Structure 1
């Protein structure tokens, strides 16, 4: 069963749309800049309603920014931590913390869509040169998470991420190459970000024949943005 209709929900539909033994909860607040209490309350209410109706495994998607000293105190991160606690109180639950997810989506709030839009439209933006961001392909999320669910993982919080991270400067420069255009940005000497623990994700990726290492970020960006050149 799938709850939600966004990027992550779509990635799991083929496997779980008609599976009543697993609930993929991929609905709620997706904008990490969100501050609306009403938005947070809507997710909380839907989450609790779904948990009460669930009889099998419950899978929830959180954020790796909970380990980022620069972002873990934001309203979004505080909300996600609370949702994790509610989910883990359920008897058979699994929480995946995700970094920056990349995929085909009209959502303007994803990091890569935001950067691509600013570059393509020559809109000025601020670039934190030392900030770190980790990317992962939504298709790889679905493959790896499904393997972990099938393996029986439960009662855990797992970072589902690739090893390492890019600086925002490296990310923007890569996307400039993909789009064949130069961005219009102000450099800000600031950091922030964290590197998720990718140990388990890499183990399963290797078993599935997915290469999360080497030039993975560039390969992911080329898959979704390279065709725009």
Structure 2
């Protein structure tokens, strides 16, 4: 069963869920502050668990690893749900997701934002010190199919394990669009280190950072 209707939920439609319960619903805006929005997700999760059995797959966020966001409502909420799952669910897999790249979805995601700025000839600012972890939306279902059955009571950081410079991402987008980006650079930005499970290194084995990024641009522009 798939709970949700957003980008991740739609990407799971081709999976034979069997006795798996995919919870891909809830707060998607990381800047959300309204407690009612977080309570709605928590209530839906609890009700879903009461009325269904099977392995729970919950989609969390890599932002939990970001020390600069430890006090944000969104991160605190995700941690609360993760802890609830660990205390109340016998069979689960928590996937902490990186910056998703796919068709549609939130227009403010990094890839969508940069694509829109370049296509519309808008000028923007690049933080030179910033690095980002990307993830093809299709890799979520591929990873689940190949690894879900033997991962139990695990919390996995899921993203392509390479920290992309923003100029690398901009370069791939402008090459695909065949249009130069207009931006200023400032000596700012940050990123956080993530520990990746051996299953992630094996899953992405043989795929170079350059080819992974190029493929994202080819698929989603």
Q: In structure 1, how many angstroms separate the alpha carbons of the residues matched to 2:184 and 2:39?
A: 36
Q: Report SS of the residue matched to 2:15.
A: helix
Moved over 4 A (4+): none
Q: 1:166 aligns with which of 159, 164, 167?
A: 164
Distance across 2 between alignment mates of 1:188 and 1:2: 42
Structure 1 residue runs of 5 or longer lacking an equivalent are none
**Contact 1:122/1:183 (<8 A) preserved:** yes
1:104-143 correspondence runs (5 A): 104-143=103-142
> Given the superposition, is the C-alpha separation of residues 212 and 10 from structure 1 closer, same or farther in structure 2, using an over 3 Å criterion?
farther
Gap change, CA 1:175 and 1:56, over 3 Å in 2:
same
Q: Give the 3-state SS of the residue equivalent to 1:70 in structure 2.
A: helix
- Once the two structures are TM-superposed, the CA of residue 80 in structure 1 deviates from its matched residue by 1.3
What is the DSSP-based 3-state SS (H/G/I as helix, E as strand, rest coil) of the residue aligned with 2:185? strand
Q: 2:172·2:213 contact (CA, 8 Å) conserved in 1? A: no
What are the superposed Cα offsets for residues 187-224 of structure 1, whole Å, 9 maximum, x if unpaired?
33222222433332122345xxxx44342122222221
With structure 1 as the length reference, what TM-score do the two structures score? 0.86
RMSD: 2.0
In the other structure, the counterpart of 1:62 is: 60
2:13 aligned residue: 13
Q: TM-score, normalised by structure 2?
A: 0.89
The answer to whether structure 1 residue 49 and structure 2 residue 44 are counterparts is: no
The reply to whether residue 84 of structure 1 matches residue 79 of structure 2 is: no
Where does structure 2 lack aligned partners over 5 or more consecutive residues? none
Q: Does the CA-based 8 Å contact 1:163-1:212 persist in structure 2?
A: no
Partner SS, residue 125 of structure 2: strand
Is 1:221 paired with 2:217? yes
d(CA) in 2 for partners of 1:146, 1:13: 12
Q: How many residues align?
A: 218
CA–CA separation in structure 2 for the residues paired with 1:183 and 1:204: 33
